[in-house]
Structure formats: structure tokens, C-alpha cells
């Protein structure tokens, strides 16, 4: 249930509604916009129907949300969520953010080199994996905490926010200690214990869509995060598994406008994983911007031939520069900026 308050509603009105709902077992989540305040109630359906919220002081409208994802729904925040990060970086709104960096943190020197080049070319968030979920147990699994320390140090030196993947509930506190955004990977999208733990963490999080996940399931996983108190959530389309074998995955561009219609959360497009080949990354990035995404995630590496993971889909800095130039033209055409 969504309760929309009038523009003249007071803080006392808000607290009265929240307290009244709490008495009958409803959990309230408040979204304060520029003009309106919205309260989202979640709880038993009988309890939701038992309270005549329409008559409470300050209430303008009460909406029943039919979708199973209540807090994620566009009804809860029609303006759209904007996530604020260190160094003045935002995800959501008119500006399109760019996350760039190697698949894995390999060394301090390598990470620093890439970070400086990425920022100079227009990237404003630095990516790098410290814990790597690999199909084969014999592949490089990441540097662990040492990788996180490197990522944090480089981020501070260059002046750029950082993002890295958390794979397990036991890692949440550790990863949150070092990075600015927690990434939940495609393989963990329905790891509900992890979703609850990250939700309680209250740190910005990017939720990647699973390889065979319906959009509804994707949004329901995001609902776990919001229901546990974390509203700083962005969704990431990273390609789904289809019958096609010409590319590693099928980048589902349809998912971008659909997710933005159904949800207020920012949407990220990852054409590196979405295609699996550096040749197609720029085209996927341009398509994502044209479809309305709020951020891109691009893998870049100084020497992809020597990369410890995902070298085939990593761009060299000169190719990343070309991508940024072409993406800026597309962004301008759709009244956005990059």
C-alpha cells in the first residue's frame, strides 16, 4: 500500500501514520521527494485493509499496489531514485554514470594505471573484483581482502568511487569496509540470505540480473533489499542466456525500458558481460543509452591478453576512448549527458 501525502503535510502527520501502522504490524518505508512525501506500507493484507488511511491528516491519496514488489514499484517513487556517491558522483537522473575497470584486481600498479586512464576518459566509478565467482574452481578466484585494499587505496588516490562484488553473507561486512558500492552478481540474485544481509548493510548496491531470471524475479530480489532497509539500489542488465551462441550472452535491451517503467530504481547496462566480446561492447553500450539506462559498466584492461579473467571482453584504453566519444553523441540525442 502506498500513501501519498499532501504538500502541506507535517512531520507530525507522517509520524502519526507510521505509528498507527506499526500498531497493527505494518512496516513503513518513507520516500521524501521534492514536492511529495510517500509512505510505503508492507505487511499482512488483512492489516493493510483494516486501517482507513484516507481519513488521516495530511493524506492526499492511498494506492493499492498490485505488483508483488511494493517498494521497488514506480508507484512508490514516481520521480525515480538518484543514488549519491562520494566525490559528487550520482547514479540516476539526467547524467549517465560510467563504471569502468578490469574484471579482477590484479596488482596495485595495474589498478592505478587503469583508474587514472578511465577517469581521464570520463569514467566516474572504478570497478574491480576481489572475490571472483568462476565456473571452474581452477580459474583465478581473486585476491580477496588484499584486492579490496588495493581497490580502496587506488580509489582514494585517484578520487573515484569504487564497486566490487560480494559473494557470501560472511563477506558483507568486509567488502563494505573497503568499497563504496556492493555488487551482487548474477549467480547470487536469488541468494536470499545474502540479499537480506546486504539490505541491512545500508550501503549502495548494484543487483545484477541472473542468466535466466525473469524481470519480475529480478525486481522481487531487489524488493528483498528495500524491505530490509536499503533503498540505495540499482539494477544491472548483464545479458541473459538464450539459444544464441554467437555471443557469450544476449544483452536484453528490452529490459531497460521495462524495468524503468515498473520500478523507480536506476538501471545499469553491462555490455561487457552482455556480449562477452570486446568487438560488440561499444554497440551494446550505445544501445543501452538509447534505451534509457542510467549507467554503463565497462571492463577495460591495459593488456587484455594477460588479464587473469575476462580478457576477451575487456577494452584497451584507446577503444574505451572511442566508446565514450560515440556514447556521448547518443546520450545527447536522447537529451542525456555522459
pTM (2 decimals)? 0.87
Is residue 246, in this structure, part of any structural domain at all? yes
Q: Is the pLDDT of residue 337 over 80?
A: yes
CB atoms within 10 A of CB 187: 14
Q: Is 73 helix (H, G, I), strand (E, B) or coil?
A: strand
Q: Is the pLDDT of residue 240 over 70?
A: yes
Q: Is the pLDDT of residue 248 over 70?
A: yes
**110 and 228, same domain (yes or no):** yes
Closest C-alpha to 286, from 336, 246, 215, 234 = 336
What was the pLDDT predicted at 34? 67
**162 and 288, same domain (yes or no):** yes
Q: Which helix (H) or strand (E) holds 326?
A: helix 317-333
Asked whether 302 and 276 are in contact (CB, 8 A), the reply is: no
Compute the distance between CA of residue 251 and CA of residue 248 in angstroms, rounded to an integer: 9
Q: Domain containing 153: what range? A: 83-333
Check which CATH number belongs to the domain holding 56 and give it.
Answer: 3.30.70.1140
Confidence of residue 288 (pLDDT cuts 50, 70, 90): very high
**59 and 109, same domain (yes or no):** no
Interval 175-192 mean pLDDT:
96
Q: Domain tally for the chain?
A: 2
Q: Is the pLDDT of residue 43 over 80?
A: no
pLDDT tens profile 94-138: 999 999 999 999 999 999 999 999 999 999 999 999 987 767 777
Asked whether 59 and 6 are in contact (CB, 8 A), the reply is: yes
Please tell me the least confidently modeled range out of 3-7, 27-31, 187-191, 310-314: 27-31
Query: How far from the centroid of its chain's Cα atoms is residue 14's Cα?
Result: 29
Q: What is the DSSP string of 49-70?
A: HHS-GGGSTTEEEEE---SS-S
Interval 276-282 mean pLDDT:
96
Asked whether 166 and 179 are in contact (CB, 8 A), the reply is: no
Q: What is the DSSP string of 148-164?
A: HHHHHHHHHHHT--EEE
Rounded to the nearest integer, the mean pLDDT of the chain is 93
Q: Is the pLDDT of residue 24 over 90?
A: no
Is residue 338, in this structure, part of any structural domain at all? no
Closest C-alpha to 117, from 329, 320, 310, 277 = 320
Interval 227-237 mean pLDDT:
94
Amino acid at each position: 500500500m502506498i500513501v501519498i501525502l499532501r504538500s502541506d503535510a507535517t512531520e507530525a502527520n507522517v509520524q502519526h501514520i507510521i505509528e498507527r501502522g506499526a500498531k497493527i504490524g505494518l512496516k513503513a518505508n518513507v520516500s521524501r521527494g521534492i514536492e511529495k512525501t510517500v509512505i510505503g506500507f508492507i505487511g499482512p493484507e488483512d492489516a493493510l485493509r483494516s486501517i482507513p488511511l484516507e481519513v488521516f491528516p495530511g493524506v492526499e491519496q492511498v494506492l493499492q499496489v498490485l505488483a508483488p514488489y511494493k517498494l521497488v514499484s514506480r508507484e512508490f517513487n514516481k520521480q525515480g531514485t538518484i543514488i549519491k556517491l562520494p566525490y559528487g558522483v550520482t547514479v540516476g537522473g539526467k547524467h549517465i554514470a560510467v563504471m569502468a575497470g578490469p574484471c579482477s584486481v590484479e596488482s596495485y600498479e595495474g589498478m592505478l594505471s587503469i583508474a587514472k586512464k578511465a577517469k581521464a576518459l570520463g569514467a566516474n566509478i572504478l570497478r574491480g573484483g576481489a572475490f571472483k565467482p568462476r565456473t571452474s574452481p581452477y580459474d583465478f578466484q581473486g585476491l580477496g581482502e588484499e584486492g579490496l585494499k588495493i581497490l580502496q587505496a587506488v580509489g582514494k588516490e585517484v578520487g573515484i568511487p569504487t564497486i566490487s562484488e560480494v559473494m557470501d553473507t560472511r563477506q558483507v561486512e568486509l567488502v563494505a569496509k573497503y568499497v563504496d558500492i556492493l555488487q551482487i552478481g548474477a549467480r547470487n540474485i536469488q541468494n536470499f540470505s545474502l540479499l537480506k544481509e546486504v539490505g541491512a548493510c545500508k550501503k549502495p548496491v548494484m543487483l545484477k540480473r541472473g542468466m535466466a531470471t525473469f524481470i519480475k524475479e529480478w525486481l522481487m530480489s531487489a524488493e528483498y533489499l528495500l524491505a530490509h532497509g536499503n533503498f540505495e539500489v540499482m539494477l544491472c542488465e548483464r545479458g541473459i542466456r538464450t539459444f544464441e551462441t554467437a555471443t557469450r550472452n544476449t544483452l536484453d535491451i528490452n529490459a531497460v525500458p521495462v524495468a524503468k517503467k515498473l520500478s523507480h530504481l536506476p538501471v545499469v547496462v553491462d555490455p561487457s558481460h552482455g556480449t562477452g566480446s570486446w568487438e560488440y561492447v561499444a554497440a551494446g553500450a550505445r544501445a543501452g543509452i538509447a534505451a534509457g539506462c542510467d549507467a554503463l559498466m565497462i571492463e577495460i584492461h591495459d593488456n587484455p591478453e594477460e588479464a587473469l579473467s575476462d580478457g576477451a571482453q575487456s577494452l584497451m584504453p584507446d577503444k574505451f576512448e572511442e566508446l565514450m566519444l560515440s556514447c556521448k553523441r547518443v546520450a545527447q540525442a536522447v537529451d542525456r549527458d555522459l
